[in-house]
Structure 1
Protein backbone atom coordinates (compact mmCIF):
# COMPACT_ATOMS: atom_id res chain seq x y z
CA UNK A 1 0.00 0.00 0.00
CA UNK A 2 1.36 3.42 -0.95
CA UNK A 3 1.64 5.97 1.85
CA UNK A 4 -0.84 8.80 1.56
CA UNK A 5 1.56 11.48 2.73
CA UNK A 6 4.36 11.96 0.23
CA UNK A 7 7.65 10.44 1.30
CA UNK A 8 10.21 12.90 2.52
CA UNK A 9 13.26 13.40 0.40
CA UNK A 10 16.63 13.03 2.04
CA UNK A 11 16.77 16.80 2.43
CA UNK A 12 13.39 16.94 4.14
CA UNK A 13 14.12 14.12 6.57
CA UNK A 14 16.35 16.41 8.56
CA UNK A 15 13.57 19.06 8.64
CA UNK A 16 14.66 20.85 5.48
CA UNK A 17 12.25 22.19 2.91
CA UNK A 18 12.55 21.04 -0.70
CA UNK A 19 13.91 24.44 -1.69
CA UNK A 20 16.84 23.86 0.66
CA UNK A 21 15.83 26.29 3.40
CA UNK A 22 15.42 24.97 6.91
CA UNK A 23 11.76 25.11 7.93
CA UNK A 24 12.44 24.50 11.60
CA UNK A 25 15.14 27.12 12.01
CA UNK A 26 12.31 29.51 12.86
CA UNK A 27 10.74 27.16 15.46
CA UNK A 28 11.71 26.50 19.05
CA UNK A 29 12.79 22.92 19.71
CA UNK A 30 9.42 22.31 21.38
CA UNK A 31 7.46 23.56 18.38
CA UNK A 32 9.61 21.60 15.93
CA UNK A 33 8.90 18.50 18.01
CA UNK A 34 5.15 19.23 17.97
CA UNK A 35 5.20 19.63 14.16
CA UNK A 36 7.02 16.31 13.86
CA UNK A 37 4.42 14.76 16.15
CA UNK A 38 1.64 16.12 13.92
CA UNK A 39 3.33 14.52 10.92
CA UNK A 40 3.47 11.15 12.68
CA UNK A 41 -0.17 11.49 13.74
CA UNK A 42 -1.27 12.15 10.15
CA UNK A 43 0.57 9.04 8.94
CA UNK A 44 -0.89 6.96 11.78
CA UNK A 45 -4.41 8.25 11.04
CA UNK A 46 -4.04 7.48 7.35
CA UNK A 47 -4.57 11.10 6.33
CA UNK A 48 -3.21 12.53 3.10
CA UNK A 49 -1.82 15.68 4.68
CA UNK A 50 -0.99 17.17 8.04
CA UNK A 51 -3.79 19.63 8.73
CA UNK A 52 -4.52 22.23 11.40
CA UNK A 53 -6.29 19.63 13.58
CA UNK A 54 -3.15 17.45 13.62
CA UNK A 55 -1.11 20.50 14.62
CA UNK A 56 -3.61 21.48 17.34
CA UNK A 57 -3.66 17.93 18.72
CA UNK A 58 0.12 17.76 18.87
CA UNK A 59 0.36 21.20 20.51
CA UNK A 60 -2.17 20.23 23.19
CA UNK A 61 -0.27 17.07 24.00
CA UNK A 62 3.20 18.58 24.10
CA UNK A 63 3.03 22.26 25.01
CA UNK A 64 2.10 23.39 28.51
CA UNK A 65 1.94 27.05 27.46
CA UNK A 66 -0.65 26.24 24.79
CA UNK A 67 -2.73 24.34 27.36
CA UNK A 68 -2.44 27.25 29.79
CA UNK A 69 -3.57 29.77 27.15
CA UNK A 70 -6.58 27.60 26.33
CA UNK A 71 -7.49 27.15 30.00
CA UNK A 72 -5.87 23.97 31.26
CA UNK A 73 -8.27 21.47 32.82
CA UNK A 74 -11.67 20.20 31.67
CA UNK A 75 -11.59 22.21 28.44
CA UNK A 76 -8.31 20.57 27.41
CA UNK A 77 -9.71 17.14 28.26
CA UNK A 78 -12.75 17.82 26.05
CA UNK A 79 -10.56 19.10 23.22
CA UNK A 80 -8.33 16.04 23.38
CA UNK A 81 -11.43 13.85 23.45
CA UNK A 82 -12.72 15.37 20.21
CA UNK A 83 -9.30 15.08 18.62
CA UNK A 84 -8.99 11.42 19.55
CA UNK A 85 -12.44 10.75 18.07
CA UNK A 86 -11.22 12.22 14.80
CA UNK A 87 -9.55 8.99 13.71
CA UNK A 88 -12.53 6.81 14.62
CA UNK A 89 -15.50 9.00 13.82
CA UNK A 90 -16.25 12.45 12.54
CA UNK A 91 -12.74 13.04 11.22
CA UNK A 92 -13.10 10.28 8.64
CA UNK A 93 -14.97 12.71 6.40
CA UNK A 94 -11.80 14.82 6.31
CA UNK A 95 -9.58 12.05 4.95
CA UNK A 96 -10.64 12.49 1.35
CA UNK A 97 -10.54 16.30 1.32
CA UNK A 98 -7.70 18.79 1.37
CA UNK A 99 -8.00 21.44 4.06
CA UNK A 100 -8.06 24.65 2.05
CA UNK A 101 -10.55 27.46 2.43
CA UNK A 102 -9.06 29.47 -0.40
CA UNK A 103 -8.91 32.45 1.97
CA UNK A 104 -5.18 32.24 2.62
CA UNK A 105 -2.46 32.49 0.00
CA UNK A 106 -1.08 29.12 -1.03
CA UNK A 107 2.21 28.33 0.66
CA UNK A 108 4.41 26.15 -1.48
CA UNK A 109 7.38 24.03 -0.50
CA UNK A 110 5.94 22.37 2.61
CA UNK A 111 5.30 18.86 1.33
CA UNK A 112 2.67 16.82 3.14
CA UNK A 113 0.92 19.77 4.80
CA UNK A 114 -2.50 21.16 3.92
CA UNK A 115 -2.45 24.70 2.55
CA UNK A 116 -3.97 26.02 5.80
CA UNK A 117 -1.47 24.15 7.99
CA UNK A 118 1.45 25.38 5.89
CA UNK A 119 0.13 28.95 6.04
CA UNK A 120 -0.31 28.67 9.82
CA UNK A 121 3.31 27.58 10.25
CA UNK A 122 4.46 30.51 8.11
CA UNK A 123 2.25 32.89 10.12
CA UNK A 124 3.62 31.52 13.41
CA UNK A 125 7.09 32.51 12.24
CA UNK A 126 5.83 35.94 11.22
CA UNK A 127 4.13 36.45 14.61
CA UNK A 128 7.38 35.66 16.40
CA UNK A 129 9.31 38.02 14.11
CA UNK A 130 6.86 40.86 14.86
CA UNK A 131 7.64 40.34 18.56
CA UNK A 132 11.35 40.50 17.75
CA UNK A 133 11.97 36.77 18.22
CA UNK A 134 13.84 34.57 15.78
CA UNK A 135 11.94 31.38 16.64
CA UNK A 136 8.19 30.81 16.87
CA UNK A 137 6.80 28.89 19.80
CA UNK A 138 3.68 26.75 20.18
CA UNK A 139 1.57 29.69 21.32
CA UNK A 140 2.46 31.53 18.09
CA UNK A 141 1.26 28.53 16.11
CA UNK A 142 -1.92 28.31 18.18
CA UNK A 143 -2.81 31.90 17.25
CA UNK A 144 -2.02 31.20 13.60
CA UNK A 145 -4.17 28.04 13.58
CA UNK A 146 -7.30 30.08 14.33
CA UNK A 147 -6.64 32.75 11.68
CA UNK A 148 -8.86 31.10 9.07
CA UNK A 149 -12.44 30.31 10.16
CA UNK A 150 -12.48 27.32 7.76
CA UNK A 151 -9.57 25.61 9.53
CA UNK A 152 -10.29 22.22 11.06
CA UNK A 153 -8.65 23.42 14.27
CA UNK A 154 -11.27 26.18 14.48
CA UNK A 155 -14.06 23.62 14.00
CA UNK A 156 -12.69 21.52 16.84
CA UNK A 157 -12.24 24.51 19.15
CA UNK A 158 -15.83 25.56 18.39
CA UNK A 159 -17.03 22.17 19.70
CA UNK A 160 -15.89 23.23 23.17
CA UNK A 161 -17.05 26.83 22.78
CA UNK A 162 -13.62 28.37 22.21
CA UNK A 163 -13.83 31.46 20.01
CA UNK A 164 -10.88 32.21 17.70
CA UNK A 165 -10.88 35.91 18.70
CA UNK A 166 -10.62 34.88 22.34
CA UNK A 167 -7.68 32.60 21.56
CA UNK A 168 -5.83 35.40 19.77
CA UNK A 169 -6.55 37.84 22.63
CA UNK A 170 -5.34 35.26 25.17
CA UNK A 171 -2.18 34.69 23.13
CA UNK A 172 -1.53 38.43 22.96
CA UNK A 173 -1.99 38.68 26.75
CA UNK A 174 0.38 35.73 27.18
CA UNK A 175 3.15 37.75 25.53
CA UNK A 176 2.49 41.02 27.36
CA UNK A 177 5.18 41.91 29.87
CA UNK A 178 4.26 41.26 33.48
CA UNK A 179 3.44 44.45 35.44
Structure 2
Protein backbone atom coordinates (compact mmCIF):
# COMPACT_ATOMS: atom_id res chain seq x y z
CA UNK A 1 0.00 0.00 0.00
CA UNK A 2 1.40 3.38 -1.02
CA UNK A 3 1.52 6.04 1.74
CA UNK A 4 -1.02 8.83 1.36
CA UNK A 5 1.64 11.44 2.08
CA UNK A 6 4.74 10.44 0.16
CA UNK A 7 8.13 10.88 1.75
CA UNK A 8 10.65 12.38 -0.61
CA UNK A 9 13.82 10.33 -1.01
CA UNK A 10 17.43 11.01 -1.95
CA UNK A 11 18.00 14.16 0.07
CA UNK A 12 21.65 14.19 -1.02
CA UNK A 13 20.78 15.61 -4.43
CA UNK A 14 19.77 18.98 -3.02
CA UNK A 15 16.37 20.63 -2.90
CA UNK A 16 13.78 21.59 -5.45
CA UNK A 17 10.26 22.84 -4.77
CA UNK A 18 9.01 19.33 -5.54
CA UNK A 19 11.07 18.07 -2.58
CA UNK A 20 10.28 20.39 0.36
CA UNK A 21 11.74 18.00 2.93
CA UNK A 22 15.04 17.20 1.20
CA UNK A 23 18.38 18.20 2.73
CA UNK A 24 17.12 19.23 6.18
CA UNK A 25 18.95 19.28 9.48
CA UNK A 26 18.10 16.42 11.81
CA UNK A 27 16.04 18.79 13.95
CA UNK A 28 13.99 20.13 11.05
CA UNK A 29 13.64 16.64 9.56
CA UNK A 30 12.14 15.59 12.91
CA UNK A 31 9.66 18.49 12.70
CA UNK A 32 8.65 17.43 9.18
CA UNK A 33 8.31 13.79 10.25
CA UNK A 34 6.04 14.86 13.11
CA UNK A 35 3.95 17.00 10.76
CA UNK A 36 3.70 14.09 8.30
CA UNK A 37 2.53 11.70 11.06
CA UNK A 38 0.01 14.25 12.27
CA UNK A 39 -1.37 14.79 8.75
CA UNK A 40 -1.75 11.05 8.22
CA UNK A 41 -3.38 10.57 11.62
CA UNK A 42 -5.75 13.50 10.93
CA UNK A 43 -6.74 11.93 7.62
CA UNK A 44 -5.36 14.86 5.62
CA UNK A 45 -3.89 14.30 2.19
CA UNK A 46 -1.21 16.94 2.63
CA UNK A 47 1.01 18.45 5.28
CA UNK A 48 -0.25 21.97 5.90
CA UNK A 49 1.04 24.90 7.94
CA UNK A 50 -1.02 23.95 11.00
CA UNK A 51 0.67 20.52 11.02
CA UNK A 52 4.05 22.25 10.78
CA UNK A 53 3.14 24.72 13.54
CA UNK A 54 2.07 21.92 15.88
CA UNK A 55 5.25 19.95 15.26
CA UNK A 56 7.46 23.05 15.65
CA UNK A 57 5.87 23.91 18.99
CA UNK A 58 6.35 20.37 20.27
CA UNK A 59 9.97 19.99 19.28
CA UNK A 60 11.72 23.37 19.02
CA UNK A 61 12.52 25.35 22.17
CA UNK A 62 13.54 28.39 20.11
CA UNK A 63 10.06 28.48 18.56
CA UNK A 64 8.37 28.12 21.95
CA UNK A 65 10.56 30.95 23.28
CA UNK A 66 9.04 33.29 20.67
CA UNK A 67 5.83 33.15 22.71
CA UNK A 68 7.66 34.84 25.58
CA UNK A 69 6.26 32.40 28.14
CA UNK A 70 2.82 33.93 27.83
CA UNK A 71 -0.48 32.15 28.40
CA UNK A 72 -1.09 31.96 24.66
CA UNK A 73 1.23 28.99 24.24
CA UNK A 74 -0.93 26.66 26.36
CA UNK A 75 -4.09 27.86 24.65
CA UNK A 76 -2.47 27.44 21.23
CA UNK A 77 -1.42 23.87 22.00
CA UNK A 78 -4.98 23.21 23.15
CA UNK A 79 -6.37 24.42 19.81
CA UNK A 80 -3.86 22.31 17.91
CA UNK A 81 -4.80 19.22 19.90
CA UNK A 82 -8.49 19.95 19.22
CA UNK A 83 -7.65 20.16 15.53
CA UNK A 84 -5.98 16.75 15.77
CA UNK A 85 -9.16 15.23 17.18
CA UNK A 86 -11.63 16.91 14.89
CA UNK A 87 -11.25 20.68 14.88
CA UNK A 88 -9.83 20.54 11.36
CA UNK A 89 -12.48 18.29 9.86
CA UNK A 90 -13.72 21.06 7.59
CA UNK A 91 -10.20 21.18 6.13
CA UNK A 92 -9.92 17.48 5.40
CA UNK A 93 -9.65 16.72 1.72
CA UNK A 94 -8.94 20.36 0.85
CA UNK A 95 -5.71 21.95 -0.29
CA UNK A 96 -4.34 24.81 1.79
CA UNK A 97 -3.41 27.62 -0.57
CA UNK A 98 -4.19 31.11 0.60
CA UNK A 99 -2.94 32.68 -2.60
CA UNK A 100 -1.25 35.37 -0.50
CA UNK A 101 2.27 34.40 -1.56
CA UNK A 102 3.71 33.41 -4.96
CA UNK A 103 2.98 29.86 -6.02
CA UNK A 104 5.70 27.22 -5.95
CA UNK A 105 5.99 26.19 -9.58
CA UNK A 106 6.74 22.48 -9.19
CA UNK A 107 4.35 19.98 -7.69
CA UNK A 108 5.28 19.30 -4.07
CA UNK A 109 3.51 15.98 -3.58
CA UNK A 110 2.18 15.52 -0.08
CA UNK A 111 2.46 19.22 0.81
CA UNK A 112 -0.05 22.03 0.65
CA UNK A 113 1.17 24.84 -1.61
CA UNK A 114 1.37 27.14 1.43
CA UNK A 115 3.46 24.66 3.44
CA UNK A 116 5.76 24.04 0.47
CA UNK A 117 6.27 27.82 0.12
CA UNK A 118 7.07 28.01 3.85
CA UNK A 119 9.76 25.33 3.45
CA UNK A 120 11.23 27.18 0.46
CA UNK A 121 11.12 30.45 2.40
CA UNK A 122 12.89 28.85 5.39
CA UNK A 123 15.78 27.90 3.16
CA UNK A 124 15.88 31.43 1.72
CA UNK A 125 15.96 32.88 5.27
CA UNK A 126 18.90 30.63 6.13
CA UNK A 127 20.79 31.90 3.08
CA UNK A 128 20.05 35.54 4.00
CA UNK A 129 21.21 34.83 7.55
CA UNK A 130 24.60 33.85 6.18
CA UNK A 131 24.20 30.30 5.03
CA UNK A 132 23.92 27.05 6.81
CA UNK A 133 20.84 24.91 7.03
CA UNK A 134 17.39 26.25 7.82
CA UNK A 135 16.41 26.08 11.47
CA UNK A 136 13.02 25.59 13.07
CA UNK A 137 12.68 29.31 13.73
CA UNK A 138 13.25 29.96 9.99
CA UNK A 139 10.36 27.67 9.15
CA UNK A 140 8.24 29.17 11.94
CA UNK A 141 8.81 32.69 10.58
CA UNK A 142 7.69 31.57 7.14
CA UNK A 143 4.67 29.68 8.48
CA UNK A 144 3.38 32.85 10.16
CA UNK A 145 4.33 35.12 7.25
CA UNK A 146 1.27 34.11 5.23
CA UNK A 147 -1.52 35.80 7.15
CA UNK A 148 -4.11 33.65 5.32
CA UNK A 149 -2.57 30.29 6.26
CA UNK A 150 -4.22 27.68 8.46
CA UNK A 151 -1.47 28.09 11.06
CA UNK A 152 -2.20 31.81 11.36
CA UNK A 153 -5.91 31.05 11.65
CA UNK A 154 -5.13 28.77 14.60
CA UNK A 155 -2.86 31.44 16.13
CA UNK A 156 -5.66 34.01 15.86
CA UNK A 157 -8.15 31.62 17.48
CA UNK A 158 -5.71 31.19 20.38
CA UNK A 159 -5.57 34.97 20.81
CA UNK A 160 -2.00 35.34 19.57
CA UNK A 161 -1.10 38.73 18.09
CA UNK A 162 0.71 37.56 14.95
CA UNK A 163 2.28 40.96 14.32
CA UNK A 164 3.79 41.00 17.80
CA UNK A 165 4.88 37.38 17.40
CA UNK A 166 6.58 38.21 14.11
CA UNK A 167 8.46 41.04 15.83
CA UNK A 168 9.75 38.64 18.50
CA UNK A 169 10.82 36.12 15.84
CA UNK A 170 12.73 38.79 13.91
CA UNK A 171 14.25 40.19 17.13
In the superposition, the TM-score normalised over structure 2's length comes to 0.86
Answer whether contact 2:18 2:109 (CA < 8 A) is retained: no
CA RMSD across the alignment: 2.4
Aligned residue among 111, 114, 120 for 2:112 = 114
More deviation, 16-25/54-63:
16-25
Q: 2:74 aligns with which of 55, 72, 77?
A: 77
> 1:19 Cα deviation (Å)?
8.3
Instruction: Quote the Cα distance in structure 1 between the aligned partners of 2:16 and 2:124.
Output: 20
- Contact kept in structure 1, 2:39 and 2:46, CA below 8 Å: yes
Give how far 1:3 is off. 5.2
Aligned counterpart for 1:133 among listed residues 125, 131, 134:
131
What is the TM-score normalised by the length of structure 1? 0.83
Residue 31 of structure 1: how far off its partner (Å): 1.3
Q: 1:126 to 1:18 in 2, by over 3 A?
A: closer
Partner of 1:93: 90
After TM superposition, give the deviation of residue 28 of structure 1 in Å. 2.8
Structure 1 gaps, min length 5? 174-179
SS of corresponding position for 1:86: helix
Structure 2 counterpart SS, 1:141: helix
Query: Which 10-residue stretch deviates more, 154-163 or 50-59?
Result: 154-163
1:88 CA displacement: 2.5
1:120-173, Cα deviation, whole Å (9 max, x unpaired) = 010011111111022111111111001111100000111122222222211111
1:39 counterpart = 2:36: yes
Q: Gaps spanning 5+ residues in structure 2: where?
A: none
